[in-house]
Amino acid sequence: MACLDSGSCDITSASFTVEGDTWHKVTVTAKGYQPWSEDVYVTSDQTIMVLAYLDLDPNVTVVKVIIRPGGGIIWLDNSDCRANVGANSTSGSTLFKGVSEGYHPAGKSRSWEGHRSGNCAEHVHCPGDNNPGGATGDRLDPGLC
Cα–Cα distance, 56 to 130 (Å, whole number) = 10
Instruction: Name the pLDDT band for 120 (thresholds 50, 70, 90).
Output: very low
Judge whether 51 lies within some domain: no
Q: How many domains does the chain have?
A: 2
Q: Which residue has the higher pLDDT, 117 or 57?
A: 57
Per-residue pLDDT tens digits for 19-72: 889 999 999 998 878 999 999 999 998 888 999 999 888 777 778 888 888 877
Check residue 110 and give its pLDDT: 65
Based on the domain organization, do 30 and 91 belong to the same domain?
no
pTM: 0.47
Residue 76 lies in a domain: yes
Rounded to 5°, angle at Cα 120 from 119 and 125: 130
Cα distances (angstroms) measured from residue 14 to each of 51, 67, 77, 133: 11, 45, 37, 29
* Domain enclosing residue 12, as ranges: 2-42
